[in-house]
Each structure stands twice: as structure tokens, then as C-alpha cells.
Structure 1
Amino acid sequence: MFHVMKNRISLMSVFGAIVFMSLQVLGTLYIPNITSDIVNNGITRGDTHYIIVAGIRMLVVSLFVVIASFMNVLLASQASQKLGQNLRNDIYRKVLYMSNDEFDQIGTSSLITRTTNDVVQIQNVTLMMLRMMIMAPIMMIGASFMAYQKNQQLTKIFVFVLPILIIVIGITMYFAVPLFKAMQKKIDRLNLVFREGLTGVRVIRAFRQDDWEQERFDVANKDYTHNAQKVFSIMAVMYPLMTLIMSGTNISITWFGAKYIANQSMEVGNLIAFMTYAMQILMSCMMLSMIFVFVPRAQASATRINEVLKMKSDIKEDTQTDVLHNEPADLQFEQVDFGYQGAQECAIKAVDFHVKAGQTLGIIGGTGSGKTTLVSLIARMYDAQTGLIKLDNHDIRSLSLREINDQVSLAPQKAVLFKGTVRDNLKYGNSKANDEQLWHALEIAQAADFIKEEQGLDTLVEQGGDNFSGGQKQRLAIARALVKEASIYVFDDSFSALDFKTDSLLRQALHNDSRMQSKVMVIVGQRISTIADADVIIVLDHGKMVGRGTHQELKQNNRTYQEIIKSQIKGETVNG
């Protein structure tokens, strides 16, 4: 856990919290001594002046303790919250640069839990450490010393009480700690089921699986609830036992203290002070027990966060920078193989093609043939296992991810829009783009008409683009990709949500645009009409490249391509 805190927690706040906490402890330990003096030297002797002076002294010390306590809480809170802020920033930054393989290893729901609940656990324990973990042992040692000064004989009571207290705490921790650790994984599971229910609500309703999903959520919810009930029931048992031990200690101190007073070997004020110090000792033990119960849970959270922060991507970056500037657009695959982790077979095998500036590459194949996988390799979301991928005549592995991201503009298969305005979403591709460039991209993407009918570029976009239809969202996503200045434009089945007419108009606008004529375009499609005009078409079947050529060549010589044409010929007119 300390590794997680390193370089992320404010050392000045920590130092200040410890200083004020120490001052608070000193003041707290001094107050019972003043009480003892008031009873011994003031009340028993009837010295009102001494009582008033000692009372004022007690008031000043109490005020001092309040100020020290306030500053301790303030600085400890600042330190813990700053730690949480830095941890969330680091996790989010790490997630943004994760490869798809790393995402697959952890999972989205678990990442959300680690960024929220796990960070909160570490924040809480950090606050407890700066408030109680350091204070409790100091208080215990100080109170023991002060109690010993008041009466050496009565301190023997602690020889019997403390072992009992330690046994109770030990048994509690033995049963509670494993349950606290298990809670984080159960929260992961609960978040996973809940998230799937939210994102798949339309599918759930369409297939009338409401009851099944509710039952699935109930199982995860009850599992977490039962675990929480067990652990907090155990903790609930500890408090009455602690109270019993503390009450028994008070009775013992009063019993033996009364005898010492009767024998005139102890003053009444010293007994009162001793009882206060005894409570401080036992309270310190309780504070330590609470910390030791919650620390393992925070440690588990820290381990989970470290797992994210220490993940080493399989995608290694070279130190070269800015090598792609002023290079002509060019994309080349040389006998590329790639398989996902744990898969028995490669997702794509021996893919080989070369596309130059001004050319369009069409990719077609059945579902699961590897089209999106191939696109992911272009954007270097994964690294090829064998073969060579060249981007603008450079080995893609010799380039930094930032350079690749700058030169590859991707319109994904699933249109993702962010809450804001149309202008905000389009500028996501190029923050420096002016309104004229934005409208030009909308014109090409066939999205200008319905945006003009609304409020233009200031049209509001709801979360996920829910105020637009599927086709409208897809066209806005295409426009966003076009706004970006890149050398390679990839459209990953982005035209599938468009009707035939809009599809044709969009491709024609792309072909006629002067800027796009010097770029490489990669169009992944399921319809023959979408990729028929491409300069090079590759046909994928179960990950293998079974054809490469123009539409006319493949139409005449490639059986897989011919089968795709036959399956679609009734639904559309194929060029040529």
C-alpha cells in the first residue's frame, strides 16, 4: 500500500498532520493530570482560587487540543483526498493508453471498481492512519506512563486486561479480515452484472429476459449482502465485548482504588486520573483493532490498483518521434498473422497487401472473418505476432503510439458520441478545426442536412448520442473521423447503418474530395456495393485472405467473392 502512496501523497500535509496529532495527544494526556490536581489540591482543601486557576489552565489546554485536532483532521483529509485524486488520475491515464489485450485481462467493470471503490478504501485507511494509527500507540504508551506515575500497583490490572483484549481482537480479525478482502471481488461481480443489465437493456426487453436478469442480479446482490452481513455482524459482536472489558476494567480500578484510598496510599484525584488513563489505553487498543481490520481490505485494494498501474503492455514503443511528418500516405501488410490471447487459432493469417496514397482498400468477408481485427492492427491496438506492418513506409513497431494515432483516423464499427454539442464531438478529431472545416466534413458524411434542421453545430448531443438515430450517429462519427488530419482513414463497417443511397452519396463525396485523393482509405464493408469501387479489395474467410484484386477480377475469379455477390444480388445492384 505504501508503494501506491509513494509520490502521490502530500508529504507536507502528512508531516503537518503528524505534528498536530502529537500536540493533540500531549494535551489530551495532560488534562487528566490537571483534573487530579484540582481534586487533590483544590476540592479536598477547599481552595477555590486554586480550582479557578487550574480550571482556566484546563480550558486553555482543551482549546489547544481542539485546535490541534482540527488541524490534524484538516491536513489528514487533504492528504488522503489528494492521494485519491492522484490515484484516479494515474489509473485513468494508464487506462487511456492500455492495449486491447490489457482491457481484456481486467475487464471494464473491474476497472470501474478499482478507480472508485478501491481508491476510496485507500483514502479511508490513509485518513485513519494519520488520525488513529499513529495516535493510538503514542496515546497508549503515554497513558501507560502517566498511569504508572499515579499508582504503580493499579497498573497490574492491565497485565490481565490487555491479553484478554488482544485475544478478542485477534479472534475478530481472524474471521473478519478474509471477509473484508472478499468484498472487493464481490463488488466487481455486482458491477459487472449491473453494467451488463444497463448496457443491454434493449436486448433484455426484446427477448423478455427481465426475470432471468433480475434473478442474476439478485444472486450477485445477495452474495455481496451476505458477505457484508457476516463481516459487520462479527464487528458488531466486538463492540459489546470491548464495552464489557472496559466496564470490567473500571470496576476493578474502582474496587482496588477505593482500598488504596482507604489505606491512604492513594489520593482521590489520582484515582480519577488513573481511570481516565485506563480508558485512553483501552480506547487506543480499540482504535488499533479497527485499523488492523480495515488495513487488509485497503491492502487488497492497493494490490488491485497496483495490478493496473504496473501492467506492461505487449506493445513496445520505439524512441523515434516525428518520423512520419511529410511522408506520403502508404499502408502495407506483409504476411501478417495475429491471434488473441488464449485462442487456439489465429484470427487472421498470412494477410498481404499494399495500398498507396490516393488508393482505397476494401475489406469484405463474413461475420468473424477477421475484418475488425485487421483494422485494429492498423491502429496498433494489437501487435502482429508474425509478419510486418508498414505505415507510411515505416515499420509500425518503430513508431510511437502518438505518431500512429496522429496519422490514422478511425471511424469505429459502433458509433460513440459524447455529451456536449455537435461542434464538441467533431472537434474531438481536430481541436483546431474551424467551422468551415466542420461543415465540410458534415457535407461529405451526408450529415449536414439534419444538423442544419436543428441548431447547427451547437446542436446538443445527449449521453451516447441518444437523441440521434443509429444512422445519424454513424454519420456524425464518420464526420468526426474526416475532420482529423491524417494520412490513413479507416472506416470499420461504418456504412452498415446507412441506406444504399446515403452509402453511395457518401462514397462519391469521399472520392471527389481533393484532400482525400492524397490519402489512403480503408473501407470495411459487408455489402458488395460499399467496397466495389475500391482500388484493391481483399476477401477474408475465417481469418485467411482468400482473394485480392479489383471488383471485376474477384467477380470473375474468386469463388468466395462470387458467393457474397450471389447472396446479395437480390437486395442491391452491384456495379459492373
Structure 2
Amino acid sequence: MIKLIKRVSVISIIMAVVFMVIQVVSDLYLPTLTSNIINNGVATGDIDYIWKTGFYMIGFSLISIIAALGNTYFATRESQKLGQKLRSDIYQKVENFSSRSFDKFGTASLITRTTNDVNQIQMVTQMFLRMMINAPITLIGASFLAYQKDAQLTRIFLVVIPIMLVLVGGIMYFAVPLFKSMQKKTDRLNLVFREGLTGVRVIRAFDKTDYEANRFDEANKDYTHTAIKVNTIVALMMPLMTLIMSGTNIAITWFGGHYIAEMTLEVGNLIAFMTYAMQILISFMMLSMIFVMVPRAQASADRINEVLNEEDEILDPKTPATLSLQGDQATLTFDHVAYRYQGAEKLALEDIDFQAKSGDFVAIIGGTGSGKTTLVNLLPRLYDVESGAIKINGINIAEITQHNLREVVGFVPQKAVLFSGTIRENMKYGKPDATDEEIWQALEIAQAKDFVSELADGLDSRVEQGGGNFSGGQRQRLAIARALVKQADVYVFDDSFSALDFKTDANLRAALKRDMQDSIMVVVAQRVSTVMDADTILVLDEGQLVGKGTHESLMADNETYQEIVSSQLREEDLA
């Protein structure tokens, strides 16, 4: 946690300390002034002294209020700025995560770490800049001043303080493990809730509404029971502290009364001592609250640091080459590429070797799990190859920055993702300065112009989160158009035509071949009809390239491709 708090401005910490010292000194001086009024004013009937000292008390009270406001300002500002920095750093870190890192943490856990865990750090930082400074200074100052007022009465603290330490230690012993478990249970609750929202259609289709509701109730009850237990334990602190403080007051009053009767203690000093005693006990209470909250914040800090310290698997070279758009001179080369998922014994891709040039339509086909998506994910460096090399325009993509690489590669993933906003905003995602003419041209190639032009607001039509107000086929066509708006040498379509009907699929492929002659098209497909007219078809089977050629050549001599074609033809005949 110290590593995170180091992000707080040193100047702000100094200012918070200065204001807090002023506040504490002012607060500590007030009981002495009260004692002086009683001993030197009330007891002697000196009205002028009472007025004079009363104005001093008002002055010190105002100074205390101003100092408290100054301390609160710096404490609040720095805690909120720290939260802002942490959220920003986590988001930027996660944006550069590899797919493996995403799988390691999980979306629900990352959301919890960015919200709940950061809030814990903010709260403890603010407590640190207020209570953690206030409590020790008050404790030391009040103890010294109480001893000055009457040394005999301070022996009461020899009994009270050990009792308080045992109380705080016992509460921490039981509460801290529960606070840590609550973080994990919050992750679990968010995970179940998120799955229930994103998978609501599947849940209803399988009539599993009651099952998912029970699943959520179990996670919710588990979290609730833990929260009730830990808050009940912590809640015991306040009444027990009040009991101790009340007992301390009784003891001070009892012994102080005897000392007054014996003429060894003045009434004003007794009242001042009681005030200092309360300040001492309240300081212990503040410290105990900090000791309870710090372990909880430490658990949050560990979870945040776990994200921030995650090593980047895909790194930019220290002295990168520069890859520029080549248009009709573009080339793509897979030079005996192999890839293995982390921890796997078997290669996911082995000895993938092919070349393509501008205007080529490269199709990739194969059974489920054959490595099609893995292969195209290597192009924008979502993964890095284990051996071999991928070259665009003759330059190894490992020798250029990821930003530079993704400037020349257009990518449409399996799942069409649209962002909330307007169609125009989504189309400009890869090219912010795109003109309406360029957007309409991309929409026309993607076979989306007709339905977009029919919308009342055209390009300004709203897109709901995830594109939920469009059909699956419309989302795919908009995602394809978004990639085409951006000028690139290589366009990758990862099974991006799957939701299109056969006619739209055929029209889209024809438009791509006709209008995108200056680029290389790499298409992953399940349908034979999608790949039949490709310039090069790559046939994958269990990560190996078992066939390469045109439809006609593969039909002549490739058994795997023949099986795929014949199985789909039979299915179409049955339909």
C-alpha cells in the first residue's frame, strides 16, 4: 500500500501535516484555557479575566476550524487524485493486457479492482492524512498536558490503555480475515451478476431464470452474511469504547473528587484533565479504526498492484523499424510460424508458411479448434509467435511498435463489437478524420448502406451498448464497414461473415475483391461458399497447415478440404 500512497504529492502531505498540527495545538490549548477560567476567573470572581480568556478560546477555536478545513481540503483532494490516477493506470494497463492476462484476472475481478478496491485506497488515504496525523500528535500532547495537570490521575491510564489494546487486538483478529474474504466475494457477486446480464437471452431460451436467480441469491447471501458478521464485530468497538470512556470518567471524577477534598487538586485542573483524558481515549479510538481499515486497504492494494505489476507479454522493440502503407505494393508473409499457448505442451500452430500480395484474397478454413482464430490473432500481435516470423511489406512485425503495426492492419473480430454513441462515431473509430463520403463508401462495400440510409437519422442514428438495437447481421456489417473506413494494407476478417445470409455474403465478397485491390484480405470462414473464390485457401487441421491452394486444386488432391466441402454440401442438400 505504501507503494500506492507514494503517488500522493509530498507538498500536499506537508500542507496537511502543517494544518493538522495547528488544529491539534489549538484543540489541546482549549482545556488549559478552560482550567484557567475556572481557577483564575470563576474562583476569584475576576470577570475581566473570564472575558479576556473567553476571547482567547474563541480565537483558538476559529484557528482550529480554519486549520481543519485546510487539512480536509488537502486530504480530500489528494485522496481523490490518487483514486483518479489509479483508475487511469489500471485502465491503461488493462488496455495493453494480452489475452492470457485477461483470462487470468477475469472481467468481473478487474471491474471490482478498478472500483471497490480503489475506493478502499482513497478512503484510507484520506484517513491517513487526517486521523493518522491527528491521533499520535493528540495522544502525545494530551498525555503530556494531562500529566502536567495531575500526575497521580494519569495512573488511571495504566489500567485503561491495556484494556483498549486488548479490545482493538481482538476485533482486528476476527475482522481482518473477514474483510479480505469480502473482496473475493465481491468479485464472485459481480461475476454472477455480469453473466446474468450479458447472457439473459440464453438464460431465457433454456428456461434457466430460476436457476440463475438462485445462483445469484447464493452469492448475494454469502456476501451479505460475511458483511453482517464483520460489521457486527466492528460495531462492537463503539459501545465498548464508550463504556471504557464512561468508566474512565467515573474513575477520574472519583479520585479527582478526593484530591480536591484533600486540597491537592484544583477544580479547573480536574475538568481540564477529564477533557485531556477524553482526547487520549478518542485518539486511541481513531488509531484502532485505522488499524482495522488498513489491513482491508492492504488487501485492496495487493489486488491493485497485482494488476499494475502484471508483466507485459507483448513488448515494443527498443529501436523499432517503421512500417508504412504500401498500397498496391503491399505484401504479407508467414515464414514457418509456430505458436504455443502458455503452459501448453502441444503447439497451437505449427510451421504455417504462406505469402500474399495486394489484391489477394486469402481464406482460412478448418474444423473447430484447428487454430484459425489463433492464426489471425498473430497478425495484430494479440499474441507473439514462438518461432518463425510474420512480415508485412518485408518487415518483421516484431521489429515495429504495436501502434505502427495496427495502423496498417484492419481487424474485424469474431464477435462484432459496437460502442454506444452514433453510427458516425463508430465508423470514425479507426480514422477520426474520416469524411462522410468515405464512411458511405465503406458502408456500401460492407452491404450496410441500404439499412443505414433507411434510418431516420442516418449516420447520426444511435447505437446502444454493444449494438443491441441492431441485428447480428447488421452489427457484423457495421463492424466490417468500420474496419474498411480505415486505410490499411492488410484486412483481417475473423469469421466476420457468419451472421450474413448467402446473398449478402456473396455481394460483400464481390465488393471487397472489386474495391479493395490495394489491400490484402485475410478471411476466416466456416462456409465453403465464402472461400471458394479465394486466391489462396489455407486448410488447417489441429494447428497444422494441411492444404494450400485454390478451390479447384484442393478439391483435386486435399482430403481434409474434400471432407469439409462434402459435409457442407450434404447439409445444404438436406436443407
- TM > 0.5: yes
Counterpart in the other structure of 2:397: 396
Structure 2 counterpart of 1:536 = 536
Q: Which residue of 2 aligns with 1:494?
A: 496
User: Quick one: distance in 2 between partners of 1:93 and 1:57?
Assistant: 54
SS in 2 for 1:60: helix
1:491-520: CA deviations, max 9, x gaps? Answer: 11111111111111111111111xx21211
Identity %: 61
| Secondary structure, counterpart of 1:517 in structure 2 | coil
Give the aligned partner of residue 198 of structure 2: 199
Q: For residue 271 of structure 2, what is the aligned residue in structure 1?
A: 272
- Secondary structure in structure 2 of the residue aligned to 1:440: helix
The structure 1 segments of at least 4 consecutive aligned residues displaced by more than 3 Å after TM superposition are 570-573
Contact in 2 for aligned 1:27/1:64 (Cα 8 Å): yes
The residue aligned with 1:371 is 372
5+ unaligned residues in a row in structure 1: which ranges?
none
Aligned length: 570
Which SS does the other structure have where 2:391 is aligned? strand
Kindly provide the amino acid, as one letter, of the partner of residue 343 in structure 1: A
Aligned to 1:315: 314
| 1:372 shift after superposition | 0.9
Q: Secondary structure at the match of 1:331?
A: strand
Counterpart residue number, 1:107: 106
Q: Equivalent residues in 2 for 1:110-509 (5 A)? A: 110-321=109-320, 323-327=322-326, 328-454=329-455, 455-509=457-511
CA displacement 1:198-221 (0-9 Å, x = unmatched): 111111111111122122212221
Give the residue type in structure 1 aligned to 2:436. D
Give the SS at the match of 2:517.
Answer: helix
What's the CA shift for 1:283? 0.5
1:387 Cα deviation from its structure 2 partner: 2.4
Q: Which amino acid aligns with 2:305?
A: N
Q: Matched residues in 2 for 1:524 and 1:186: separation?
A: 40
- Does structure 1 retain, via aligned residues, the 8 Å contact 2:5–2:125? no
Report deviation, 1:572.
Answer: 5.9
The one-character-per-residue Cα deviations of 1:349-407 (angstroms, maximum 9, x if unpaired) are 22221112221110011222211111111111111222222222122221211111111
Q: In 1, are the aligned partners of 2:361 and 2:513 still within 8 Å (CA)?
A: no
Query: How far, CA to CA, are the matches of 1:351 and 1:227 in structure 2?
Result: 53
1:548 alignment partner in structure 2: 548
> Which whole-Å deviations, capped at 9, do the CAs of 1:453-500 have from their partners, x for residues lacking one?
112211111111111111111100000000112111001111111111
Separation (CA, whole Å) in 2 of partners of 1:55 and 1:167: 40
| Cα displacement string for residues 184-242 of structure 1 (whole angstroms, at most 9, x for unaligned residues) | 11111111111111111111111111122122212221221122122111112222221
Does the CA-based 8 Å contact 1:430-1:483 persist in structure 2?
A: yes
Offset of residue 344 of structure 1: 4.2
Deviations 1:39-60 (A, max 9, x none): 1111112222221221111111
TM value normalised by structure 2: 0.97
Task: Find 2:514's aligned residue among 512, 525, 548.
Answer: 512
* Residues in 1 aligned to 2:220 and 2:462: alpha-carbon distance in whole angstroms: 37
Q: Distance in 2 between matches of 1:233 and 1:346?
A: 53
Taking the aligned partners of 1:128 and 1:387, their CA distance within structure 2 comes to 55
Unaligned runs of 5+ in 2: none
User: Within 2, Cα distance between the matches of 1:523 and 1:495?
Assistant: 9
- After superposition, where does 1:74-113 map in structure 2 within 5 Å? 74-113=73-112
CA RMSD of aligned residues (A): 1.4
Contact 1:361 1:523 in 2 (8 A): yes
Return the letter of the residue paired with 1:189.
Answer: R
> How far did residue 9 of structure 1 move?
2.1
Q: Distance in 2 between matches of 1:303 and 1:193?
A: 23
One-letter identity of the residue aligned with 2:251: S
Deviates more, 1:43-52 or 1:546-555: 43-52
Q: Distance in 2 between matches of 1:232 and 1:10?
A: 33
Distance 1:485 1:291 in 2: 56
Distance apart, 1:570 and its partner CA: 5.0
Q: Is the 8 A contact 2:349 2:543 kept in 1?
A: yes
**1:518 alignment partner, SS class:** coil
| 1:39 matches 2:38 | yes
TM-score using structure 1 length: 0.97
Paired residues of 1:10 and 1:83 also in contact (CA < 8 A):
no
Aligned partners of 1:326 and 1:287: how far apart in 2?
63
State how far apart, in whole Å, the 2-side matches of 1:340 and 1:211 are: 37
The residue type paired with residue 287 of structure 1 is M
Q: Distance in 2 between matches of 1:312 and 1:408?
A: 25
1: CA distance, partners of 2:121 / 2:418: 33
1:521 is aligned with what amino acid? M
Alpha-carbon contact 2:196-2:212 (below 8 Å) kept: yes
Once the 2 structures are TM-superposed, how far is the Cα of residue 571 of structure 1 from its aligned partner?
Answer: 6.0
Classify the secondary structure of the residue corresponding to 2:44.
coil
Which residue is equivalent to 2:526? 526
Q: Post-superposition shift, 1:543?
A: 2.0
**Do the aligned partners of residues 485 and 319 (structure 1) sit closer, same or farther apart at CA in structure 2, a change above 3 Å counting?**
farther
Shift of 1:17: 1.5
Paired with 2:405 and 2:101, the residues of 1 have a C-alpha distance of: 19
